Amino acid sequence: MEVAALKLAGERNDVPHPSVQMPNKWSENHERLVVFDDGRGVKIVHDEVSNAEGASAVGADHPVPRNSDVYYYEVTIIDKGKNGHISIGFCTTEVDLSRLPGWDRGSWGYHGDDGHAFAGERDGTPFGPSFTTGDTIGCLIDFKIGKAF
């Protein structure tokens, strides 16, 4: 059994308009997730028999609003798990949550084990330093230019 845990860093987002809900906590939308700390922490538990890659994605409670120019969030890696396969990124609602962000079309991910960025592909490109337990990683999407960092 592999366990990886993440925790959102920073303060919750203010809602700019009553009809628009900004993402501000983890969603409990996957059977292998344990959400804690008022939705700000999440633990991913894998049974290696049912998930050979040992991968899962964690979504937010609300999607980033379409009218956002940019969106930024941070996570702190509490425990990298057995293999250290941690990715931070963005994806559409159609992306398979049993795989890391960036591996499938409609997703982008910065992977901690090798520091590569993946944009809907199995082979990434060098992006930044690797990250692991104890690190806080930020992720920004700029809708104006169509890029994530």
pLDDT in tens, 43-69: 877 665 555 456 778 888 888 887 889
The residue among 48 and 146 whose pLDDT is bigger is 146
Domains and CATH numbers, the chain: 2-148 (2.60.120.920)
pLDDT score at 94: 87
The count of other CB atoms within 10 Å of the CB of residue 14 is 7
Would you say residue 80 has pLDDT above 90? no
